[in-house]
Amino acid sequence: MMDFSLTDAQRSIKNGIMEFARKELNCNLAEDDDNARFPLEKWHKCAKMGLMGLCIEEKYGGQGFDLLTAVIAVEALGYACKDSGLVHSIITHNLCGIQISQFGNDFQKERYLSTASAGEIICAQAITEPDAGSDVSAIRTKAEKCSHGYIINGNKTFITNGPIADVVLLMAVTDARRKALGGMSWFVVEKDNRGLKRCAPFNKMGLRTLQNGELVFSECTVSSNDLLGREGHGMSIFNQGIQLERTMLFASHLGVLRRCLEGSIKYSKERYQSGQPIGRFQLIAEKISRMKMNYELGQLMLFKAAWLIDNKQRANLESSIAKLFISESLKDACLDTMQIHGAYGYTKEFEIERDLRDSIASTIYSGTSEIQKIIISTLTGL
Amino acid sequence: MNVLEALKQFISSELMPDPNGLSLEDNAALIEEGIIDSLGILKLLAFVEERFSVCLSDDELIPENFETPVAISDLIQNKMNSSLVA
């Protein structure tokens, strides 16, 4: 028998996070957005709440959640915290912690997991390059073996948390002849490494509190102990990580979608035109019913992807479907919410415009919608 | 049709740009020659798991296991034999 209900523990986690976020994370939103300021004080509050190591083992100070529970937690955070840039930053940090937990050697786990769980370090994952976005296999940052380890040279761009990262998980080419499978590896690079330069953050349309920028590696020397996982296993590690990213990050977007839905329902009941609440007009009701449908379907797909991963099964197809569906649904929901709210929706005061600006990039990162469609069609045998 | 032949037929018809070209060798360097790219691996995995009823974990996606058709065939055979023993 299939049981779709949350456990008592999951319900408690979800409610606790929503209450915390509403109380602690929704101040100074407009100013931080205007100034593209990363709210470090909120980061530390989230760390105290235990949000930095959701899936990291308890012995390292993490919550030890399975992925499904983490997804429920992250959806709650996305719903109740209106700073989507902060939420995105926290989830990226969590994904780095999971990567170290899964592939790190004992030294790396001891050195990074406790401080990552405590939010005392900020982690970033460096994959994308100026000429390698959708085509990850085209990355050119090189890690050449030397007597004491590796020397890394190359540029990464659009790196979430990059400008403020204490620890960077970097994907680089270690064998150019072998291309995607066998030719790439991951490394852990700390901010104090003289060969790493963290550049200023990009000035973005949305997710403005999220610090996202270039990282330059110039004769960056790391030891063999800084290899994450085995040499040549870069693509395998990437493949596992991207399924997690498409699941966890888009759980938070599902939370925003729910916020749009509830806000639209409330407004449609309260706003009267022609002597009745606008929710009675079919064309308004249609938008809301579509939002509701998309929220429910997105959640089902997300939960399935998380369940598969928790049960050590492949979820490339399911995580791609979830990512594509939720991101496109979120953009539509934000546009519809603005339309439902009319001219008021267009003002900054109602905050819908910020959600809309924040939603636009969701169909770009973690693999564009176009790439997801290619993955889905490939995996359906075409 | 044995595992190796089934594999080669799939790779030739689904992953090679010119399926009517040269026949695939047992020891063709699939990765070095660019026959399998990152998307191709996903397609191949889906085929292998469905056709041979085996489950490959992501940490088995290592170069040694996918370098040649023979390497992949050996991996599949080992998985099939393990599930028989279990």
Closest Cα in chain B, distance from residue A77 (Å):
29
Core vs surface per residue A269-302: b (16+ CB within 10 A) or e: eebeeeeeebbeeeebeebbeebbebbeebbebb
Question: Is pLDDT at A237 greater than 70 in this prediction?
Answer: yes
Closest Cα in chain B, distance from residue A180 (Å):
6
pLDDT per residue as tens digits for the range A250-262: 999 999 999 999 9
pLDDT per residue as tens digits for the range A79-111: 999 999 999 999 999 999 999 999 999 999 999
pLDDT per residue as tens digits for the range A336-380: 999 999 999 999 999 999 999 999 999 999 999 999 999 999 888
Subunit contact B58:A379, Cβ cutoff 8 A: no
What value does the mean pLDDT take over residues A308-324?
A: 94
Whole-prediction pTM: 0.93
**Does residue B31 or residue A300 have the better pLDDT?**
A300
Subunit contact A182:B59, Cβ cutoff 8 A: no
Q: DSSP states of chain B as a string?
A: --HHHHHHHHIIIIISS-TTSSPPPTT--TTTTTSS-HHHHHHHHHHHHHHH-----GGG--HHHHSSHHHHHHHHHHHHHHHHH-
pLDDT per residue as tens digits for the range A205-233: 999 999 999 999 999 999 999 999 999 98
Whole-number average pLDDT of chain A = 96
Lowest-confidence region among A7-21, A215-229, A293-307, B32-46: B32-46
pLDDT per residue as tens digits for the range A121-161: 999 999 999 999 998 888 999 999 999 999 999 999 999 99
Judging contacts by C-beta atoms under 8 Å, the chain A residues touching residue B46 are 317, 379, 381
What value does the mean pLDDT take over residues B58-84?
A: 86
What is the model's pLDDT at position B20? 62
Q: How does residue B21 score in pLDDT terms, banded at 50, 70 and 90?
A: low
Chain A residues 221-250 with CB within 8 Å of chain B: 230, 232-233, 235-236, 239-240
Residues 6+ apart with CB under 8 A from B38: A136, A137, A180, A181, A235
What value does the mean pLDDT take over residues B39-61?
A: 84
Subunit contact A232:B62, Cβ cutoff 8 A: yes
Subunit contact A235:B41, Cβ cutoff 8 A: yes
* Pick among B10, B58, B61 to test the A interface (most A CBs inside 10 A): B58
Catalytic annotation present for A110: no
* Cα(A63)–Cα(A74) distance, integer angstroms: 13
